[in-house]
Amino acid sequence: MAILQLNDFQVHTLKPLNIEVKDEVICLSGPSGSGKSLLLRAIADLITHSGEARLDGKKCSKTNPVQWRKWVGFLPAESAWWMDKVGDHFSNKNHSYIEEMKLPADCLNWEVVRCSTGEKQRLAIARLLAQQPKVLLLDEPTASLDANSVAAVEQLIKNYSRDNQAPVIWVSHDEKQIQRLNNRVYRISENEISEAEL
């Protein structure tokens, strides 16, 4: 079981955060611009921060950054693609999540420019999970998806967390979704992150 710990973890104007996440999906919500995305980016060690993030006791600052980012899988709100074909962005042969995302098997041959925003988002989730990260940091992963796809993503992430005993931090604005995920929820208010009632 992977354990993500944040000790006096501070980014931008947010107050220091102390939290421990085990094999569970916790939600993070708060108004736009409150620092949710910054927090996820800092945990993925993409921006400077103070304090320490630990994964299974291993300090982020003492771990090779490339290794750390492979362990800590971050899904940005908007996916990025840099080659023509979808399949060129998958570095390994683990394509099982494409099917679970309700995408056709031949989508790896699709041209990226012809994919819709929703398709790109589902492909980005499949691409991230194919790397088998130990932790998932999801920044509004279902914001651009229809109801069926939202349900599929929610189920897939829950299953992934359970099967891989992976901690998940899920940023969401959708109160109904937070209820559905039915776990601990943290809210950002006045630069402070605190656990809140469901």
The residues of the shown chain that bind other proteins, judged by CB under 8 A, are: 44-48, 65-67, 69-70, 73-74, 76, 78-82, 89, 91, 127-128, 131
Q: Which CB sits closer to other proteins, 82 or 147?
A: 82
How far is Cα 169 from Cα 191, in angstroms, rounded to an integer?
18
DSSP state of 77: S
Q: Which CB sits closer to other proteins, 122 or 127?
A: 127
Instruction: Kindly state the smallest distance separating residue 112's Cβ from other proteins, in Å.
Output: 11
112 — phi, psi (to 5°)? Answer: -60, -40
Instruction: Kindly state the smallest distance separating residue 46's Cβ from other proteins, in Å.
Output: 6
How far is Cα 107 from Cα 167, in angstroms, rounded to an integer?
29
Q: Which CB sits closer to other proteins, 92 or 116?
A: 92
How far is Cα 182 from Cα 180, in angstroms, rounded to an integer?
5
Q: Which CB sits closer to other proteins, 64 or 148?
A: 64
| 12 Cα distance to chain centroid | 20
Instruction: Kindly state the smallest distance separating residue 125's Cβ from other proteins, in Å.
Output: 13
